[in-house]
Amino acid sequence: MPATAPTNPRLALAVLAAGMLMTVLDGSIVTVAMPAIQGDLGFTPVGLSWVVNAYLIAFGSLLLLAGRLGDLIGRRRMFLAGTGIFTAASLLAGVAASPAVLIAARFLQGVGSAMSSAVGLGILVTLFTAPRERARAIAVFSFTGAAGASLGQVLGGVLTDALAWNWIFFINLPIGVATLLVALRALPADQRLGLGAGADVIGALLVTSGLMAGIYAVVKIEEYGAGSAHTLGFGALALALLAGFLLRQAKAAHPLMPLRILRSRAVAGANAVQMLMVAALFSFQVLVALYLQKVLGYGAAETGLAMLPAALIIGAVSLGVSAPLIARFGERNVLLAGLVLLVGVLGLLTRVPVHASYATDLLPVMLLAAGFGLALPSLTALAMSGAEEADAGLASGLFNTTQQIGMALGVAVLSTLAAARTESLTKAGHPNAEALTGGYHLAFGVGAGLLLLALAVAFTVLRRPAVSTEPRKMTMAA
C-alpha cells in the first residue's frame, strides 16, 4: 500500500540531521574527557584506549550490514531502533561505575550509531528527489556532520570542567528522546524488500567479522607497530574474510550486497575519494589541535576558539554556497575545486613554524578549510546518485563505512608517522617543540599527498558529472 511523503520534509530532514549530530558529536566529545574518565574509573593506559576503540569497532564494522538491513526491513525502522539503542547506551555510559561497564556501553553506542547513520542518507534521497532540493538537503546533512565534529571538542571540555565527564553522555538523552518522538511522526514508512531479498547470513558474518578485524588491526597499529605479527595477522585475516564476502556475493542467490552497486562509477569513485580525503584530513582535524596545544601552548578552550573559523566557514559554504554551485557546475567540478583548496590547507601546514603567528600562519589555513564544505556535499551526492532506490540504504551504509575506514587509517598511519619523526628528531638533539613540529610537518605532507591522489581519482574516475535534469521517480510503500 503506497505511503505518502511527510507533510513537512524539512522536519524529517531535521530529524535525520539530529541523528547525524549525535553520532558525530559522540565520536569527538569523548576524547577531551579521557583524562577525567581514567582518573575516576581507574583505567589503565591501554584499557583507556578501548573507550574509543570499542565504539569505532562496532560502528565501523556494522555500517554496511545495517544499511542493507534497512533496505530489507525498512530504513525508518532501522533509524528508530538505532536511535533508541544509542540513547539507552548513552544512559548506561553516563552511570558506568567501572571500566567494563563503560566499554560495553560504548560498544552498544557504536551499534546504535551504525544502525541510525547507515540509513540516514538512504532516507534523505527518497524524501528529496529534485536535484536542487536534494543538493540543499545533502548540504544541511553534511554541515551537521562537520559542525558536530567541531562542537564536540569544545563541548566536551566545557561539560567535563563545569560538571563531570558523565555529562558528555547524558547530553545525548534529551537529543535522543526528542529525535525519536519527532521521527515517529516525521519519517514516512518506506519500501521494504523483505529479508528474502537479501537474507545472506553467511555474507553478513563474513563482512561484519572482516571489517571488525580490519578496524581492530588499524586502531592498534600505534600500540603494536605496522610491521608486527599482530597487525599483519589481523590485517591478513580481514582481507581473507572480505575476499570471501565478495566471492559469496558474486554467487549467492540473494546477496547481502549486490555487486551491481560497485559497477557505478559515481558510487565506486566517490567512496574511493572519500576514503583518501578523510584519511588525509585527520591531520587537520586532530594534529592541528595537538600542534596548538603542545607547540604553541594553547589551552583547551583557546584551541577550540582557534579552530572555530574553520568550522564556521565550512558551515557557511556547506549551507549557502555548495548547493547553488553543484546545481550550476555539477558535483564533480565542485568536488575538484574543494579538493584543490584542501591541498592548499595541508600544503600551508607543512611550512608552519615553531613560533607561529595565528593571524598570518594559521588563520589562512582555517579559511581554506572551506574546501571541505564544497567537497563533502559533492561526494555525498555522487555516492548516492549511482544507486537504485532499492539499494539506497546499502549505498548510504557503504559511504559511511568508507568514511570510518578512512578515519581509522588516517589515525593509524599519520599519527604513527608523526610520532616516529618526532622521536627521530628528539634523538638527534632537537628541542621538544621543534621535534614535534617536524613530526607534524611529515604527517601534513603525507596528508597532502593523499589529497592529490584523491584529486587524481576524482578527475579520472568521476569524469562524467552525475547531475540529473529530471527528478528521480521513487515510490514509497508501507
User: From first to last of its 478 residues, what are the pLDDT tens digits of the chain?
Assistant: 344 455 577 788 888 888 887 777 776 677 667 677 777 787 776 677 677 778 877 887 777 778 778 777 888 888 899 999 999 999 998 898 888 898 899 989 988 988 888 787 777 777 777 767 777 777 777 777 666 666 665 666 666 666 777 788 888 888 889 888 888 888 877 666 555 555 667 877 887 888 778 878 877 776 787 778 888 898 899 899 888 888 887 887 777 777 777 777 888 888 899 889 988 887 677 788 778 878 888 876 677 778 778 878 887 887 778 878 888 888 889 999 999 999 999 999 999 999 989 899 999 988 888 888 888 888 888 887 766 666 666 777 778 778 877 877 787 788 778 888 988 999 998 998 999 999 999 999 999 999 999 999 999 988 654 444 344 444 333 3
Q: Is the four-CA dihedral 422, 311, 137, 346 of positive or negative sign?
A: negative
Res 58: pLDDT: 81
What backbone phi and psi angles, to 5 degrees, belong to 2?
Answer: -65, 150
Residues in the chain: 478
SS3 252: coil
- Identify the CA nearest to 393 among candidates 90, 1, 114: 114
What backbone phi and psi angles, to 5 degrees, belong to 107?
Answer: -65, -45
Residue 431: Cβ-neighbour burial (10 angstroms; 0-12, 13-18, 19+): exposed
CB 185 within 8 A of CB 8: no
Q: Write out the DSSP string of 105-157.
A: HHHHHHHHHHHHHHHHHHHHHHH--SHHHHHHHHHHHHHHHHHHHHHHHHHHH
What does each C-alpha distance from 181 to 76, 86, 126 come to in angstroms? 13, 15, 21
Q: Write out the DSSP string of 399-431.
A: HHHHHHHHHHHHHHHHHHHHHHHHHHHHHTT--
d(CA 11, CA 43): 42
d(CA 201, CA 259): 17
